[in-house]
Amino acid sequence: MNPLKAFRKEFTSVWDTGVFGISVGEIVTALLIIFGFLWIRRLFFRFIVTSLKGLTRRTKTDLDDQLLNALEKPLEFGFVIIGIYVAGQVLPFSDDVGNIFDRLIRSFIALVLFWAIFRSIDPLSSLMDRGIELMGSMSMRDTMKGFFVKLAKFIVICLGVAAVFQEWGFNVAAVLGSLGLVGMAVALGAKDFIANLFAGLTIFLDRMFEKGNWIQTPDVDGTVEDIGFRATKIRRFDKALVTIPNARLAGEALINFSRMTNRRIYWKIGVEYRTSKEQLQGIIQDILAYLNESDDFETNPERTKTFVFMDSFGASSIDIMLYCFTVTTDWGDWLACKERLAYKVKDIVEGHGTAFAFPSTSLYVETLPFGTPEPFPIPGQTTPAAPKTTP
């Protein structure tokens, strides 16, 4: 036999036999189909998607731009799935392999669909803004929005996993029903998680605090950075991050400083005892006049209370009580207002001819216990005669 004919016969035999009964020609054809769809995908995104992006940029809203960007990755993978499916139609699969291939394709389709929904949640969440406008401040709406977005993503992930499992023959309803047999154990093991979850809902519904608020608890003092399903993250003022379970926060007293309408200044101003009544009255009147005239302080009696009175007689001072509120609640601005008030009080007190008192002790001696002391002569001076005493 001719060696070339023999080699061609062997080559044809290998070509027709291929792998697992599939000829090499069919495998090459399937690969070419897949690469063809990859090329079609490239053309689709270069021309069609680019044109759509140009149209969305002309609209007044950013929702269509964000939605198109969110769907871009699932669409890319969708072309791959279509190419694999068409390529599979060329290959002569057996019944068992064909069933596995069909389930795999359906699983990929379910994956792409739920992936697209998952990525669309963030841009579509802007539609929730009007629905949660009644929740109060902008930061509270953002907090509620973030919570519902996380919840929606969690539900989509669970549904996607259930859809994929169902394609592979798992009875999802039966599996969920069978969980009732171990429900007690699961409930006992997850009681802390469930408690924290409901505590998180309580924090949202009661509006105890929101993202960005400055709160103080018995354990931590700082700014709320994130409110999650299980715990809340608080950034302390030393920049350390503290994570506290929601159940603990919802069950203990906390102070929300961000809800302050005004910020208080409460001083005791001590002046010397030599200060006269007229000086005290002048000091009090000038301080009140400054508080009423300055834009730093809220003196409307319907909103706050302002008091400047002579309060008490201290151990070494006459005490004037100064009780007022600033307009600002920002800590830095409050410190600046308090500094300006301190300078003004100092000028007023000194302007009325008196001074601030400081702790002091005076010793008064009526008689010396050992009689009159002998005079001590100073060198170079004559010693004065001692006073005569009557026996």
Q: Which run of H or E residues covers position 236?
A: strand 231-236
Using CA atoms, how far apart are residues 207 and 274, in angstroms rounded to an integer? 54
| Nearest-10 crossing angle of helices 138-167, 191-206 | 140
Contacts of 275 by beta carbon, 8 Å cutoff, 6+ apart: 318, 352, 354
Tokens encoding 110: 């379910």
pLDDT band at 328 (very low <50, low <70, confident <90, very high): very high
Q: Which of 82, 101, 331, 86 has the alpha carbon at shortest distance from 221?
A: 331
Q: Give the model's pLDDT for residue 32.
A: 87
| Alpha-carbon span 187 to 345, nearest angstrom | 63
Q: pLDDT tens digit string along 67-114?
A: 888 888 888 888 889 988 888 887 777 777 788 888 888 999 999 999
Determine how β-strand 318-326 pairs with β-strand 307-313: antiparallel
Model pTM? 0.52
Question: Which residue in 144, 257, 123 sits closest to 211, CA to CA?
Answer: 144
Residue whose entry in the numeric block shows the structure tokens 């004065």 = 384
Cα 141 to the chain's mean position, in Å? 13
pLDDT band for 235, please (50, 70, 90 cuts): very high
Question: How far does CA 80 lie from the centroid of its chain?
Answer: 39
Place 141 in a pLDDT band, splitting at 50, 70 and 90.
low
d(CA 87, CA 80): 10
pLDDT at 128 over 80: no
Round to whole Å and give the CA distance between 118 and 71: 10
Output the CA–CA distances (angstroms, integers) from residue 83 to 24, 77, 113, 147, 150, in the order listed.
18, 10, 17, 38, 33
Using one digit for the tens of pLDDT, what is the confidence trace for 49-64? 888 888 888 888 788 8
Residue linked to tokens 């290959």:
91
pLDDT in tens, 371-384: 666 666 666 665 55
Instruction: Report the alpha-carbon distance of residue 265 to residue 260 in Å, rounded.
Output: 13
E strand map for 156-306: 214-216, 221-227, 231-236, 241-245, 255-256, 263-271
Longest C-alpha distance within the chain, in Å?
A: 165
Give the position of tokens 């009423």.
Answer: 292
Q: How far apart are CA 296 and CA 132, in angstroms?
A: 34
Chain-centroid distance of CA 242 in Å reads: 12
CB atoms under 10 Å from CB of 108, counted, come to: 19
| pLDDT, tens digit, 9 for 90 and up, residues 294-327 | 999 999 999 999 999 999 998 889 999 999 999 9
- Single out the residue of 206, 196, 197, 201 nearest to residue 254, CA to CA: 206
Give the Cα separation of 53 and 69 in Å (integer).
9
Q: How far, in Å, CA of 237 to CA of 222, rounded?
A: 6
Say how far residue 83 (Cα) sits from the centre of its chain: 44
